[in-house]
Amino acid sequence: MSQVLRRRDFIRLSVVGLGVVVVGSRAAFGESTPTPARDARLEITAAPVRLIDGTTVPMWSFDATQPRPVPGPVLMAVSGERIEIEVVNHHDRTHAFAIDGVVDSGPIPPNTARTVTFDAPPAGTYLYLDPLQAPLNRLMGLHGALIVMPANPVTPYDAPTPAVSRYVADIGGWDSTRQWVWLFNQIDPALCQRVAAGATTLDTFKPRYFTINGASGFEAATSPDVAIHGHIGEPALIRSLNAGLAAHAPHIHGNHIGMLAAHGAVCEDVYERDTWRLPAMARHDVMLPFEVPRDAHPWPPSDDFHFPLEYPMHCHCEMSQTAGGGLYPHGAIAHWAIEKTIDKGLT
């Protein structure tokens, strides 16, 4: 895919370089160039996926040229703008591309392509997926995140609620480049084998690997698209999604988050939590305020060796912290870190 898209189609979404594909024509992110004939192309193929313990499972991918074939690339657009995505099916099964309530390509037979055109929905976080044989094609890896930004990103939304506006103002405002996607998924290698061999029903689902953006454990905690860092006073938006079937309970250490959007709706009440429920297909935006860890004493610590202050986020449904039945904590875990700096005060 990197060959077909021009440089202007990519931006660095965050300070740690989350790679995204910008879809839509608006020049909100830099150069103004003519509307491309096609904003993005997703190419469906079978792809072996290597897991944290070296196990390889057969899965399906929207873009197998990525370092991790699953999930698909993060797509990004501005609300209301027209988007064109070409979906090419190189696989020997029929697939489709859909975003619930937004667009559905309809069946795309093997070795054909379909271009879907739609207007970007309201600013927020969406899951795109192959809705066929639900949930099988999605569980086989055909899913990814679509980020829709507001034209004026003071908050992540076109029309923030009073509570969201107040929360974001109280934490010192949000730099819209500071956002990360945490797309959770669970992998059952036996199911992948069965479906790759032709099974068309779910029968059982016994996940043995638990990923965030396709990575788990040490790999997730050290991957720049998963691991968050910054200074005190630099909030980070986390777009948490769950493409699998299991209910996660992400628990973050170091700061409570504020939940800004749940299931795609901007929250009337912003709940501050250290643990949030992330059921199957949920998409919840949570803001990590990057405040001084409130219960650290004394603050600041006298010795710099504590920095960066590195904290985990892990699912508290702890079965998700395993890989292949053990290997704790090489499951659904991420890290975030507070850097020491001379530019920003420590208090």
- Using the minimum distance from each CB to other proteins, give the nearer residue, 6 or 12: 12
Q: What is the DSSP string of 282-314?
A: -EEEEEE--PPPTT-SSSS-S-GGG-SEEEEEE
The gap between the terminal CA atoms of the chain, to the nearest Å, is 45
Q: Coil, strand, or helix at residue 163?
A: helix
Residue 218 Cβ, how far from other proteins at the closest point, in Å?
Answer: 4
Site string for other proteins, 64-93 (x = CB under 8 A): -xxx-----x--------------------
Residue 324 Cβ, how far from other proteins at the closest point, in Å?
Answer: 6
Residues counted in the chain: 347
Residue 197 Cβ, how far from other proteins at the closest point, in Å?
Answer: 22
Residue 305 Cβ, how far from other proteins at the closest point, in Å?
Answer: 4
Residue 309 Cβ, how far from other proteins at the closest point, in Å?
Answer: 5
Chosen residue from 251, 264, 281, 341 binding other proteins by CB under 8 A = 251
Among candidate residues 7, 155, 141, 6, the one with its CA nearest the CA of residue 72: 141
Backbone angles phi, psi at 256, to 5 degrees: -80, 155
Spell out where 228-303 has E strands.
Answer: 228-230, 236-242, 250-252, 257-262, 265-273, 283-288
Chosen residue from 58, 86, 115, 271 binding other proteins by CB under 8 A = 271
Question: H-helix or E-strand containing 118?
Answer: strand 112-119
Total Cβ atoms within 10 A of residue 24: 25
- Using the minimum distance from each CB to other proteins, give the nearer residue, 10 or 118: 10
Site string for other proteins, 158-197 (x = CB under 8 A): -----x--xx------------------x-----------
Chosen residue from 26, 231, 256, 344 binding other proteins by CB under 8 A = 256
Name the strands in the sheet holding 333-338, side by side, starting at the edge strand that comes first in the sequence.
228-230, 333-338, 309-315, 250-252
Residues 291-310 that bind other proteins (CB under 8 A): 293-298, 301-310
Residue 106 Cβ, how far from other proteins at the closest point, in Å?
Answer: 26
263 forms part of the interface with other proteins (CB under 8 A): no
Residue 39 Cβ, how far from other proteins at the closest point, in Å?
Answer: 15
36 forms part of the interface with other proteins (CB under 8 A): no
* Residue range at the interface with other proteins (CB under 8 A); choices 16-24, 84-92, 144-152, 191-199: 16-24
Are the C-beta atoms of residues 269 and 307 closer than 8 Å to each other?
A: no
Lookup: tokens for 300:
């600041």
284 forms part of the interface with other proteins (CB under 8 A): no
Residues 209-248 that bind other proteins (CB under 8 A): 217-218, 221-225, 227, 229, 245-247
Among candidate residues 307, 294, 305, the one with its CA nearest the CA of residue 344: 307
